[in-house]
């Protein structure tokens, strides 16, 4: 399975910043060390073109990002101080999801070892998200690969508010978000299907709601491809998430989504999304488990 990485493009952050930059290189190392992915399957992310980004984002916004003219307020909302490296990393991360999308159409499944930046809107970024990689990749598939309908299965603990707003009123891209009702963002957007979970929701009720909403998604729209945001932050050890999924529960979540897509013969594009456990190793384990589940799923299908 092809995996695209952008961890070589590091974002300079002030001391004590809570964004877990180390998880990205840690994940790539772990996948290699445990033999989950071979070196030949790891590809450096290409840079997304401005024309691709403009399928979703406004020229005003991308220009402000490119030229470093984002207001102080706009940078505060994103949560990163502007730097040329920030621009490069954001473009590479979108490029990784675009590349993974094309690979998934060809091979059934592929992954971006970052991405899932679902809080980015057409005209602004927020919550550590500069550009919306999945939204851009969905538009690129529609423009270049004859895909008409896509669905986004967002299992990050935070609502995919940017994604919901971008595709509001557009039946060609179905948005499903399962998230903590009391988690950021506090003003939620309307996805096509929102599943709001109470604080402390554990494995069993989560998996039941996921299975049900997955069926509803496949029934309400006939997607030709699925984007899966496999956030590590519904984990019980997460600092920001208010849910209580165990590591085993998160594995079952991955198996449920990936297995259902394989059964339906749908290509899957996997992105990592958030994860803020104190222990970076735990975040890496959760993400590595997702890639392992995808490999097993591919193997059992072929
Ligand atoms: Zn999140």
CA 157 to centroid of ligand 1, rounded, Å:
5
Average pLDDT score, the chain:
96
Residue 299 or residue 224, greater confidence: 224
pLDDT of residue 287: 98
Q: What is the mean pLDDT of residues 227-248?
A: 98
Ligand 1 centroid–CA 294 distance in Å is 21
pLDDT tens per residue, range 79-121: 999 999 999 999 999 999 999 999 999 999 999 999 999 999 9
CA of 289 to the centre of ligand 1 (A): 18
Ligand 1 centroid to Cα of residue 287, in Å, is 13
User: In the predicted model, is pLDDT for residue 70 greater than 80?
Assistant: yes
Q: What is the pLDDT of residues 111-155, one digit of tens each?
A: 999 999 999 999 999 999 999 999 999 999 999 999 999 999 999
Distance 302 CA to ligand 1 centre (A): 33
113 touches 24 (CB < 8 A): yes
Whether pLDDT at 232 is above 70: yes
Give pLDDT, residue 296.
84
Confidence tier at 18 by pLDDT (50, 70, 90): confident
Got the DSSP string for 26-90?
HHHHHHHHTTSS-GGGEEEPPPPPHHHHTTTS-HHHHHHHHHT---HHHHHHHTS---HHHHHHH
Instruction: Determine the Cα–Cα distance for residues 243 and 246; give it in Å rounded to an integer.
Output: 10
pLDDT of residue 256: 98
Residues labelled catalytic: 119
- What strands lie across the sheet with 193-197, from one edge to the other? 42-44, 2-5, 109-112, 268-271, 225-229, 150-154, 173-180, 193-197
Angstrom distance (rounded) from CA 202 to CA 210: 12
Report the relative pairing of strands 193-197 and 268-271 from DSSP bridges: unpaired
User: What residues does the ion ligand 1 have nearby, CB within 5 Å?
Assistant: 156, 158, 231, 233, 274
DSSP string covering 136-169, please? HHHHHHHHHS----EEEEE-SSS--HHHHHHTTT
Find tokens 């590595």 and name the residue.
Answer: 288
Read off the DSSP letter of residue 209.
Answer: H
Chain mean position to CA 288: 14
**Res 241 pLDDT > 90:** yes
- Asked if residues 262 and 216 have their Cβ atoms less than 8 Å apart, the reply is no
The whole-number pLDDT of residue 300 equals 67
Q: How far is the CA of 65 from the centre of ligand 1 (A)?
A: 22
Percent of the chain at pLDDT exceeding 90: 94
Residue 16 has pLDDT above 90, yes or no: no
Q: Please calculate the CA angle 119-229-35 and round it to the nearest 5 degrees.
A: 135
Does the pLDDT of residue 301 top 90, yes or no?
no
Residue 203 CA to residue 92 CA, distance in Å, equals 34
Find the helix or strand (DSSP H, E) in which 13 lies. none
* Cα(231) to centroid(ligand 1), Å: 6
> How much distance in Å is there from the Cα of 18 to the middle of ligand 1?
13
Query: Is the pLDDT at 302 greater than 60, yes or no?
Result: no
Structure tokens that stand for 121 in this block: 């809107």
> How many angstroms does the Cα of residue 127 sit away from the middle of ligand 1?
8
48-62, 146-160, 288-302: least confident range: 288-302
């Amino acid at each position: 399975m092809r995996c695209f990485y952008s961890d070589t493009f590091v974002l300079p952050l002030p001391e004590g910043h809570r964004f877990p930059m180390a998880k990205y290189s840690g994940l790539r190392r772990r996948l290699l060390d445990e033999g989950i992915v071979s070196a030949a399957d790891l590809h450096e992310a290409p840079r997304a073109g401005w024309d691709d980004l403009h399928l979703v984002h406004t020229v005003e916004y991308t220009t402000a990002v490119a030229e470093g003219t984002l207001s102080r307020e706009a940078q505060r909302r994103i949560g990163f101080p502007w730097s040329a490296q920030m621009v490069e990393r954001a473009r590479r991360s979108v490029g990784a999801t675009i590349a993974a999308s094309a690979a998934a159409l060809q091979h059934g499944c592929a992954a971006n070892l970052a991405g899932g930046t679902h809080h980015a809107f057409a005209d602004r970024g927020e919550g550590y998200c500069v550009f919306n990689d999945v939204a851009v990749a969905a538009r690129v598939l529609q423009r270049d690969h004859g895909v008409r309908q896509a669905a986004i299965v967002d299992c990050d603990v935070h609502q995919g508010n940017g994604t919901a707003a971008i595709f509001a009123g557009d039946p060609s891209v179905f948005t499903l978000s399962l998230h903590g009702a009391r988690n950021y963002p506090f003003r939620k957007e309307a996805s096509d299907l929102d599943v709001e979970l109470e604080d402390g929701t554990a494995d069993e009720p989560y998996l039941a709601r996921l299975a049900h909403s997955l069926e509803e998604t496949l029934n309400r729209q006939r997607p030709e491809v699925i984007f899966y945001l496999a956030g590590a932050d519904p984990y019980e050890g997460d600092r920001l998430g208010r849910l209580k999924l165990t590591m085993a529960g998160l594995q079952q979540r991955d198996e449920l989504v990936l297995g259902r897509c394989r059964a339906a013969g749908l290509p899957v594009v996997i992105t990592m999304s958030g994860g803020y456990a104190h222990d970076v190793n735990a975040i890496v384990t959760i993400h590595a488990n997702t890639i392992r589940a995808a490999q097993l799923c591919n193997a059992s299908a072929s």
